[in-house]
Structure 1
Amino acid sequence: MTPADLSRTVLHAVRRAVDEDALRVPVPARVRVERTRPGGSGDYACAVALQLAGPAALPALEVAAILRERVAAEPGVGRVEITGPGFLSFTLDAPAAGDRAVLDAVREQGLAYGHGDALREEILQFHHAREVRAAVTAHAVRRLVTAQGARVRVSCEEASDPDWARLGVTVDAHGTPPVPLTGIRPVPAGVTAGELLERFGPDAARWGLLRPAGHDRAALGPELLVQGEANPLFRVRYAHARARALTRGAALLGFTAGHAAPHDGAARPLLDLIADHPGVLLAGARHRAPDRVARQLEAVAHAFFDFHDSCPPLPAGDEKPSAAHRARLALAEAAGTVLAGGLSLLGIRAPEHL
């Protein structure tokens, strides 16, 4: 069970409680679950009972007990505890089962892993200045919110710069509607899309504009072109290319990825990041923050290389492919898919060879 699955399970329990007249509250649009903090109980925690206690005119502990009864028997949930003033703490079934579900979801959904319909009720219109960073950010935000089900229209206050198209930017209209996309620090005066394209090319230019938070200065220095670990974009793309190379290497050795999750300890950080990916994409969409997605991709790439170096997915020398290798390959392929999907949402290519 992934965090998104658990969130839906808790929300379903709220709906059941309301339908059964055990709770008389408006059903929330979503329920947030978070990883338990160090020293806490269980794998995940949720404060929904505290949020519903007031509208239900019941103590939070009583609301928690009502929801606990309806969540505890759900597949994938091992134990549900009530802690503190009314928090629900969840211990999932054996981690291997949850990890396998995450890898299966990535395999089935491909580049759309993490996309959803949480914003399906929203019809949005973004307006931005005639400035390259604002244009690229609006385009990336459009992709993020569309991936969560929203319908979006983007306008610019003046006619678009023709070079924006080479950066992948599209604008639907010109004028001044009432909902500007604010908080984006422009690039230095005189820096144009054409200049950025000439210096960096479209992919590095977009990364340099999107990776810092909107209120921070865009990173547009020569480090964007460094072919090494010091360049986060190169590291993310190289991790993707390496994951794809592992698939090709495995095919030459006559084996494919398995359906089990790896048991190696070094796999845990990467598995957790992949499980958290849908939540990061949704947060990036809600907060209009493509930088969150970029930072997530950096973390996935870092964890991928740590895992790859500690637990090689391909056998060495005369070693025969084993179930462990197939499981490791499944995780490596999932990481590559997450990296490619995230880069795509940022409008950046993910080459299979670097």
Structure 2
Amino acid sequence: MTPAELAEVVLSAAHAVFEDRGLDRAALPAQTTVERPRNPEHGDYASTLALQLSKKVGVPPRELATDLAEQLGRAPGIKSVEIAGPGFLNIRLDAAAAGQLAKVIVEAGPEYGRSDTLAGQKINLEFVSANPTGPVHIGGVRWAAVGDALSRLLRATGADVGTEYYFNDAGSQIDRFARSLLAAAKGEPAPEDGYGGAYIAEIATEVVKRRPEVLELDDAAAQEVFRVEGVQLMFEEIKSSLRDFGVEFDTYFNEKDLHDRGELEKALVRLREQGHIFEADGATWLRTTDFGDDKDRVLRKSNGEWTYFAADCAYYLDKRERGFERVVIMLGADHHGYIGRMKAMAACFGDDPEHNLEILIGQLVNLVRDGAPVRMSKRAGTVVTLEDLVDAIGVDASRYALARYSSDSPIDIDVELWTRATRDNPVYYVQYVAARTASVGRNAAEVGLTRGDAAGFHAELLSHEKENELLKALAEFPAVVSSAAELRGPHLVARYLERLAGAYHRFYDNCRILPRGDEEVTDLHRARLWLNDATRVVIANGLHLLGVSAPERM
């Protein structure tokens, strides 16, 4: 019996109690939930339904709980129900009902853990969005791992998600990038405000190879060639790096397109219609202070140039007009000040900033070895890049390490820890269970042990304490996925997988799955193989949500 099925049984019992007592069934919720007690000795699941309904119907909670417990005690699969405190219900399942979960999971396969919790929500999820002036640095890599995992979680819970990478390919930073490339091609030092690093020389060389006539042009014309070609080359490299990291985007959106299509003028017209535009000092302003911003924002400068914020406004409007009800933007730690102005901007468009716009801020990441920060990349010149991280610990460890912590917490990634083939390496600890469950399956086949058909599955035999503990852990997975999606926290999945791995190891150490020597294969062996394979399914499903592989051998 799954937690969702038990919750339905509890709600059905409440309907029966209300009918017997003549209470108004309109007070009953459309659905309810059950939770794991903090103390396993209190039972398998707990319900607070009696407490929730007590005031609505004027019946003391413990009295209502007594009736609910009596009704639940008659339900198939429930071993006992105890009342605790003012009206908590502690429920124990019989072994057969608990053990059936193994079959449910194996038969569901990749679908186990998926739900329609967020069905009907259309979400635009923008993450990474680094300027195309250099390789993806380690802060952006964090968003690549977390953002991709979050997109998987949102889709697993029924949301319609569009992932998006925004290339800031317009503005002064692109001019500095083009001047840096031109200087490198000429063999001159980088401009004082330019970009350094070996990658600049590499890209400059490639531009000259593609456009050998570029160095014969005057500086203005040459700089434009380096801007167009250089941005394209950097763009291609960034996409290739992310693809190798397992991250693909539905849309790659260029800021320059907003300018070329007149989208900034369109946004200005819309904001003017809403009554939030004013002119001062020769510039055009958006009155964001009306919605809590600390100051009003310039959209167009007195010299006619658009500001970055104007492009932000146009980009947000473009997303909303593409049908996205909720716009989620992941930004780095240095962008915390953007929240107020972006929320105010959404309100200026007439949107609800608490519903239509969500901004997530990620904290800093450091790569350390022997307790000291890893030196900056030789190629990038100033930062540790995606390639540096992957070269140090691999793709799987990188993605798991970055997704394992709440994004609002700074983290140090210890190279020694994350490359260690020991249990204190979290990704190894979890992936080892994936490999061990697969190994058990192979070994079982060699000795003639198969699960058999579902009809021959004796769930009631899974009565050992460690089997029950593992079943409880497996039952938590759908709720963990839903919570992780709603709370935007892939780290909840990682921490769950580590708890599940621990439960499996304890089961494996205490409950022999395979027969010894000439020992006859029994129904208990088959039941335990179902449980082993159910664990394999959940570990694989969970790792997939994080974009991490579930190896069959290690």
Give deviations 1:208-236, integer Å, cap 9, x for gaps: 11112222334532222222223121121
Cα distance in 1 for partners of 2:396, 2:494 equals: 13
> Partner residue of 2:365?
187
Say if 2:358 is the partner of 1:164. Answer: no
Match of 1:132 among 137, 141, 152: 141
> Partner residue of 1:313?
513
Shift of 1:242: 1.3
Shift of 1:76: 2.4
Cα distance in 2 for partners of 1:137, 1:119 equals: 19
Cα distance in 1 for partners of 2:120, 2:142 equals: 28
Say if 2:218 is the partner of 1:217. Answer: no
> Partner residue of 2:88?
87
Q: 1:61 to 1:307 in 2, by over 3 A?
A: closer
Shift of 1:347: 0.9
Q: 1:135 to 1:267 in 2, by over 3 A?
A: same
Say if 2:249 is the partner of 1:240. Answer: no
Name the SS for the 2:465 alignment partner: coil
> Partner residue of 1:98?
97
> Partner residue of 1:249?
443
User: What is the total number of aligned residue pairs between the two structures?
Assistant: 351
> Partner residue of 1:25?
27
> Partner residue of 2:533?
333
Name the SS for the 2:102 alignment partner: helix
> Partner residue of 2:502?
302
Name the SS for the 1:244 alignment partner: helix
> Partner residue of 1:6?
6
> Partner residue of 2:475?
275
Shift of 1:251: 1.0
> Partner residue of 1:110?
109
TM-score if structure 1 supplies the norm length? 0.85
Equivalent position amino acid for 2:245 in 1: L
Cα distance in 1 for partners of 2:112, 2:536 equals: 12
> Partner residue of 1:144?
153
Segment drifting more, 54-63 vs 323-332:
54-63
Q: 1:139 to 1:84 in 2, by over 3 A?
A: same
> Partner residue of 2:136?
none
Q: 1:337 to 1:134 in 2, by over 3 A?
A: same
Give deviations 1:151-186, integer Å, cap 9, x for gaps: 223334536742222222233444445634414224
Give deviations 1:26-76, integer Å, cap 9, x for gaps: 735x52312234497543221233334455566545665676676554432
Shift of 1:137: 0.9
Larger Rg: 2
Give deviations 1:3-28, integer Å, cap 9, x for gaps: 22212333455678899973333735
Cα distance in 1 for partners of 2:69, 2:464 equals: 33
- Is the 1:129–1:156 contact (alpha carbons within 8 Å) kept by the matching residues of 2? yes
TM-score if structure 2 supplies the norm length? 0.57
Cα distance in 1 for partners of 2:424, 2:83 equals: 45
Name the SS for the 1:198 alignment partner: helix
Q: 1:2 to 1:170 in 2, by over 3 A?
A: same
Give deviations 1:273-306, integer Å, cap 9, x for gaps: 1122222222222211111111111122222222
Shift of 1:80: 4.4
Name the SS for the 1:153 alignment partner: strand
Shift of 1:243: 0.9
Q: 1:121 to 1:65 in 2, by over 3 A?
A: farther
Equivalent position amino acid for 1:5 in 2: E
Q: 1:312 to 1:79 in 2, by over 3 A?
A: closer
Shift of 1:143: 0.9
Q: 1:124 to 1:48 in 2, by over 3 A?
A: farther
Name the SS for the 2:524 alignment partner: helix
Name the SS for the 1:220 alignment partner: strand
Q: 1:126 to 1:73 in 2, by over 3 A?
A: farther
Cα distance in 2 for partners of 1:150, 1:16 equals: 35
Match of 1:208 among 372, 376, 401: 401
Cα distance in 2 for partners of 1:239, 1:195 equals: 28
Q: 1:71 to 1:297 in 2, by over 3 A?
A: same
Q: 1:42 to 1:232 in 2, by over 3 A?
A: closer
Name the SS for the 2:394 alignment partner: helix
> Partner residue of 2:343?
none
Cα distance in 1 for partners of 2:492, 2:37 equals: 21
